Amino acid sequence: NAGVTQTPKFQVLKTGQSMTLQCAQDMNHNSMYWYRQDPGMGLRLIYYSASEGTTDKGEVPNGYNVSRLNKREFSLRLESAAPSQTSVYFCASSEALRGRSNQPQHFGDGTRLSIL
Amino acid sequence: AQSVAQPEDQVNVAEGNPLTVKCTYSVSGNPYLFWYVQYPNRGLQFLLKYITGDNLVKGSYGFEAEFNKSQTSFHLKKPSALVSDSALYFCAVRDGNSGGYQKVTFGIGTKLQVIP
């Protein structure tokens, strides 16, 4: 059981380049998330998808776009990378985000992105 | 708005001694509280959660957490620390009363260092 799989694991970009981070989960979860992790700032939510067919902005959505391709896959795109987007990006999934759902999130191992 | 505070950037404890990692929270409704652990170059892993019921919650790897409603705290504890417990620990909260979509808010993390 792979859980949440993120690709690539590492990437170096030049300012202005674009790229897409891929995420797939095999737990039949409804909700998926993208976070960035920066020293001293913890985890900040970029975008989330409460269910297939919906996406919503989180705390720090500027400079990013997302696509919920199907129930399994949720991608994050940087259209024009900036040095401030250097970070570790985590994808996560959970059974549901609605109402009294109390299930934890399951995380991938991250993509380490450096923008020069 | 909901929030989580982890007041200690780092906690040092000798192997075999009891450990405590502190967390306080703020939420308008009933709190759903979670602890996660992150090992180097890995994603977050779920340890335990409090939803309702007993104030002492037991989780993975011998960890437990004590919910205190009057102090709005949810401290993580372990009776005897192991060197392998050295990692980054995150507390998280969401509002359990919400009927809509409510995101999880994470603390900034506490680094636990267990000294041999």
* pLDDT digits (tens), chain B, 116 positions: 789 999 999 999 999 999 999 999 999 888 899 999 999 999 999 999 998 888 999 999 999 999 999 999 999 999 999 999 999 999 999 887 665 566 789 999 999 999 99
Contact B102 A97 (CB under 8 A): yes
Decide: B63 and B92 in contact? Cβ < 8 Å. Answer: no
Chain B residue with Cα closest to A91: B43
Residues in Cβ contact with B83 at an 8 Å cutoff, skipping those fewer than 6 apart:
B15, B114, B116
Give pLDDT < 50 ranges for chain A: none
Query: By the CB < 8 Å criterion, does A88 face chain B?
Result: no
pLDDT value at residue B61: 92
CA B72, CA A26: separation in Å to the nearest integer? Answer: 36
pLDDT digits (tens, 9 = 90+) for A59-87: 999 999 999 999 999 999 999 999 999 99
Query: By the CB < 8 Å criterion, does B25 face chain A?
Result: no
pLDDT value at residue B101: 63
Query: By the CB < 8 Å criterion, does B53 face chain A?
Result: no
CA A48, CA B108: separation in Å to the nearest integer? Answer: 19
Contact B43 A109 (CB under 8 A): yes
Contact A45 B103 (CB under 8 A): yes
